[in-house]
């Protein structure tokens, strides 16, 4: 893998003389769903912890805060958001308005140099719903493995997701245009998702937060998440955005891969009692375990550095991959373009 560490010191590309003279503070902005909001990283901002129905769970540890790209980081992402919640429209997800609409105001207040968008998991791809299906199959022997029931649906679901993400990208571009930006004066990055589990986990009972089969975990790591990365990579190529492949960003540090669990970068099934404190009875059910199988603060620190390195390097796409040294590193050999072939191969085996 070709590392880009040496390129990290380069000046942010794409900056026009007009923006260079702009007296506003420079900012990097994150849009999207739970993976970008910082779900799983903890210490959620007041007002997003379930108070008044807002469960966006925006964390100060989210990777947008660790890129080093600008003195100001603005996180508009919201846990559970879909591409439609990013796009212009009535919005209303967890009481919050369209992220594109709010981006207009942020881009007017600050000199936005970078926008990162991570969305699609809650659209047709259904990554969270897929996880629930895999858990149910593990707990109920009468239910077929999720790789068998959902595998054949994957190509169509990813294609539908890509269409919706592409629509969100168009509205993000439109938001920046309304704020007075030309496309060449800021960097737009699309990010994929880090696989949360692995078949290479240590033997642990379901009671320790690991209720899935190794075979389904392997399918998720080697087929489902690479397929999602391929879909997002295709959107980036068609829309002129850069692509950060996070599929392997927590490799070897996935949930249930270490004892003790504190060495892991992904949450296992996690019950958050603070959800009851802030959300009251509304927290009963899904919100109590909302953090489950999401990157934790350690993972976000690694991914934030990768995002910063990608933007500073000027590369159009790269993969963030966890290394043996306990850190994630950026390389130009993104595996996403080959993922579609991997999906097809898995379906015919």
Q: Which tokens go with 67? A: 């890129």
Nearest-angstrom CA–CA distance, 224 and 217: 10
Read off the pTM: 0.89
Nearest-angstrom CA–CA distance, 101 and 33: 16
Tell the residue number behind the tokens 């009671």, with chain if given: 207
What is the distance of C-alpha 132 from the center of its chain?
18
Name all domains of the chain by residue range, CATH numbers in brackets.
5-348 (3.40.50.1110)
Closest Cα partner for 120 from 1, 15, 236, 5? 236
Sheet containing strand 111-118, edge to edge, reads 72-75, 26-32, 111-118, 187-191, 242-245, 317-322, 328-331
Closest Cα partner for 11 from 79, 113, 107, 123? 113
Per residue of the chain (349 residues), give pLDDT as tens.
333 333 333 344 444 555 556 899 999 999 999 999 999 999 999 999 999 999 999 999 999 999 999 999 999 999 999 999 999 998 668 999 999 999 999 999 999 999 999 999 999 999 999 999 999 999 999 999 999 999 999 999 999 999 999 999 999 999 999 999 999 999 999 999 999 999 998 877 777 889 999 999 999 999 999 999 999 999 999 999 999 999 999 999 999 999 888 999 999 999 999 999 999 889 988 999 999 999 999 999 999 999 999 999 999 999 999 999 999 999 866 555 444 444 433 433 3
Nearest-angstrom CA–CA distance, 330 and 323: 10
What is the distance of C-alpha 2 from the center of its chain?
23
Q: Are 195 and 253 in contact (CB under 8 A)?
A: no
């Amino acid at each position: 893998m070709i590392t880009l560490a040496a390129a990290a010191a380069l000046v942010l590309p794409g900056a026009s003389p007009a923006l260079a003279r702009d007296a506003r503070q420079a900012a990097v902005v994150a849009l999207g769903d739970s993976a970008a909001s910082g779900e799983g990283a903890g210490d959620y901002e007041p007002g997003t912890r379930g108070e008044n129905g807002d469960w966006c769970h925006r964390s100060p540890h989210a990777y947008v805060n660790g890129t080093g790209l600008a003195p100001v980081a603005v996180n508009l992402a919201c846990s559970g958001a879909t591409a439609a919640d990013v796009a212009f429209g009535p919005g209303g997800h967890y009481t919050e308005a369209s992220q594109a609409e709010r981006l207009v105001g942020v881009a007017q207040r600050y000199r936005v140099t970078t926008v990162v968008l991570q969305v699609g998991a809650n659209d047709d791809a259904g990554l969270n719903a897929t996880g629930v299906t895999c858990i149910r199959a593990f707990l109920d022997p009468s239910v077929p493995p999720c790789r068998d029931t959902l595998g054949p649906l994957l190509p169509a679901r990813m294609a539908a997701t890509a269409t919706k993400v592409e629509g969100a990208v168009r509205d993000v571009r439109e938001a920046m245009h309304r704020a007075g930006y030309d496309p060449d004066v800021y960097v737009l990055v699309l990010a994929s998702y880090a696989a949360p589990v692995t078949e290479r986990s240590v033997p642990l009972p379901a009671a320790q937060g690991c209720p899935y089969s190794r075979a389904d975990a392997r399918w998720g790591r080697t087929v489902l998440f690479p397929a999602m990365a391929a879909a997002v990579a295709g959107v980036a190529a068609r829309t002129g955005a850069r692509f950060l492949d996070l599929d392997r960003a927590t490799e070897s540090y996935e949930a249930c891969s270490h004892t003790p669990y504190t060495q892991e970068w992904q949450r296992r099934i996690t019950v958050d009692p603070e959800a009851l404190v802030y959300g009251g009875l509304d927290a009963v059910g899904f919100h109590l375990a909302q953090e489950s199988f999401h990157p934790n603060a350690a993972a976000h620190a690694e991914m934030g550095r990768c995002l910063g390195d990608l933007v500073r390097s000027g590369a159009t796409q790269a993969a963030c991959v966890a290394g043996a040294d306990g850190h994630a590193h950026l390389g130009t050999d993104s595996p996403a373009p080959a993922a579609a072939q991997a999906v097809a191969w898995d379906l015919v085996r």
